[in-house]
Chains A and B, each alone.
Chain A
């Protein structure tokens, strides 16, 4: 008997292993082609710690209600840490700046772009000391800018567009509170900075010489994209569709009542009401229907090649490669496959 058992053991193990293998294969094929209405146990949403209109859904459980499952909100301070959270699979969705997203995609981080719910307009501004009247006067000056931010990208674009000699401009990588300290000490002549920080500088005699929106006529867009982990999108396409629709309905709430939403967010973030109101007003909020048009992303993957934001992604990737932030070989040949048009279209049919 013991002999027999020993004799049969390997075969049973093999049979078991085969069974498990087959089950896993079957499951993965199933999830890959999944059209079933699976609900994740928990949806983890990453958000920038700055106040944002769509985050109003965090204050009253709108996302829990819509998704029908548990929602965890994970804050992060800037795009860089956001990328790390996505890489470590600690969050499923996030909304943050296009430049760090490009950096992540270049490193083959498995994420997909889901439109651009927030376009930077006047929330990021170039503020200078008196005596500097325009961008042309910046040569020979010291400009502070938060490192690896959309402002740093916009500053470089402004220098390029105005054909200034970049080597004659001293860029100082400083975060916003340090920038204000350096401004008051007279260590810097100008800064590209986001709200509400520019309010301090404007009341201190600073002069606004550029807002990011003015760069759009030269094809330079700065925006915040929604992203989803590819694995999550493959497993739970329906949750992605619902999430997108919920983001849109939060933005609609803001559009209907900017004051009320600003006040609620100010309470939730512990920030002054005026600062929150002005920061939110500095962004443009094209609806997803508008985004899926010729002015932004194009109507679908087939019509995306010449869409402004696809081109802007390509330009920004080129810029990051020139600056040495990402490897030239890592720049994706096309950004179209990295935008999930299918799910965007399912959420917002034409």
Chain B
């Protein structure tokens, strides 16, 4: 990707966002749609300023964002620390993989909302339960992705490495890791999205702050302006987290896509 097309792409993206926002505002201003159903961006901005100044239910807006980020990121960090080594181990040792795989595949597609009653019974209503729920949904995808990434390293390359005398850790460090890393990054990006979407479920456990909680609570009082603000903030934060990961990926695997 050259820098010219990159600038062009950015310009196009920014333009499309601005155009959609303007149409959205116009629809609200002209009262084509009841603002109760679709509050215009200007009203959402007013709400954002109000919440930034006065907070929502005694919690400042930045705190809601920070709290949700802290929950999601701590869960995500543990998910990477546990999921990546486990996935790699499963990929490198197929027998070990066969032992673990049924449990991973059983838990992975479960709607995490269904786990809430059990999580409360087992771990109570504190922060642990909320972080755990996000951890479960993110880590399982990482395990599956990491195992698959190891499996996708080409046999030829493994043989070439072995022929050159690499075994055990050296083989992993110099052949497997460089080849699986780009795919691992894609897995981590996808799991971050999955973990972030579990935030609302997690914050339904005895929360009185956080972006997910804010959206659910405001919905109960028909405060669609706050619901929309929460959705915009959830989406924007998720987007920003993904951009950070893309940057990290470029820095860590500059060889990706050039083999």
- Contact check, B206 vs A173: say whether CB atoms are below 8 A apart: yes
Let me know if B108 is at the binding interface, CB within 8 A: no
Inter-chain contact A181/B117, CB cutoff 8 Å: yes
A231 to B185, CA, bound (A): 55
Extra A-B contacts (15), CB below 8 Å, given A79-B220, A178-B205: A80-B222, A84-B222, A87-B222, A100-B220, A103-B221, A103-B223, A107-B224, A109-B222, A147-B217, A173-B207, A174-B125, A182-B124, A184-B121, A185-B124, A324-B54
CB pairs A–B below 8 angstroms (14 shown): A80-B220, A80-B222, A87-B36, A100-B220, A107-B224, A171-B208, A173-B208, A173-B217, A178-B116, A178-B206, A181-B117, A182-B120, A182-B124, A324-B54
Select A104's contact among B126, B208, B222, beta carbons within 8 Å.
Answer: B222
Main secondary structure of the interface of B (DSSP, over half): loop
B56 at interface, CB cutoff 8 A: yes
Q: Does A108 contact B (CB under 8 A)?
A: yes
Do A326 and B36 contact each other (CB < 8 Å), given the known contacts A174-B125, A174-B206?
A: no
For residues 42 through 83 of chain B, which have their beta carbon under 8 Å from a beta carbon of chain A?
54-58
Expressed in whole angstroms, the Cα–Cα distance for A174 and B124 within the complex equals: 12
Q: Does any Cβ of B come within 8 Å of A50's Cβ?
A: no
Chain A residue at minimal CB-CB distance from B204: A175
Is B37 an interface residue, CB under 8 A from the partner? yes
User: Could you say which residues of chain A place their CB within 8 Å of the CB of B56?
Assistant: 324
Contact A324 B58 (CB under 8 A): yes
- Determine if B125 and A326 form an interchain contact, defined as CB atoms under 8 angstroms apart: no
Of residues 19 through 38 on chain B, the ones whose CB sits less than 8 Å from some CB of chain A are 36-37
Q: What separation, in Å, do the CA atoms of A83 and B36 have in the docked complex?
A: 12
User: For B125, what are the chain A residues with a Cβ–Cβ distance below 8 Å?
Assistant: 172, 174, 178, 182, 187-188
Indicate if B219 sits at the interface (CB-CB under 8 A): yes
Count A-B contacts at CB 8 Å. 80
A100 & B206 in contact (Cβ 8 Å cutoff): no
Within 8 A of B (CB), among A78-93: 78-80, 83-84, 87
Pair B57/A323 contact, Cβ less than 8 Å: yes
The complex places the Cα of A79 from the Cα of B221 at a distance, in Å, of 9
Most B CB contacts (10 A, CB to CB) among A87, A320, A324, A326 go to A324
Residues of A within 8 A of B217 (CB): 147-148, 173, 325
| Nearest B residue (CB) for A149 | B220
Specify the chain B residue showing the minimal Cβ separation from A147: B217
Is the beta-carbon distance between A172 and B206 smaller than 8 angstroms? yes
A177 interface residue (CB < 8 Å to B): yes
Nearest B residue (CB) for A185: B124
Q: Is the Cβ of B57 less than 8 Å from the Cβ of A324?
A: yes
Q: How far in angstroms is the closest Cβ of chain B from A328?
A: 10
Are the C-beta atoms of A107 and B206 separated by less than 8 Å?
no
CB-based contact A187/B124 at 8 Å: yes
Chain A 106-123: CB-based contact to B (< 8 A → 1; otherwise 0)? 011100000000000000
Chain B residues lying within 8 Å of A172, measured Cβ to Cβ, are 125, 206, 208
B37 close to A87 (CB less than 8 A): yes
* A-chain residues with CB within 8 Å of residue B54 when the two chains form the complex: 324
CA distance A181 to B36 in the complex (A): 37
Please state if B220 and A78 are interface contacts (CB–CB under 8 Å): yes
**Alpha-carbon separation in the docked complex, A276 to B120 (Å):** 27
Q: Smallest CB–CB gap between A94 and chain B, Å?
A: 14
Check B206 against A182 for contact (C-beta < 8 Å).
yes
Task: Kindly state the separation between the CA atoms of A78 and B206 in the bound complex, as whole angstroms.
Answer: 17
Contact with A along B194-232 (1 / 0, CB 8 A): 000000000001111000000001011111100000000
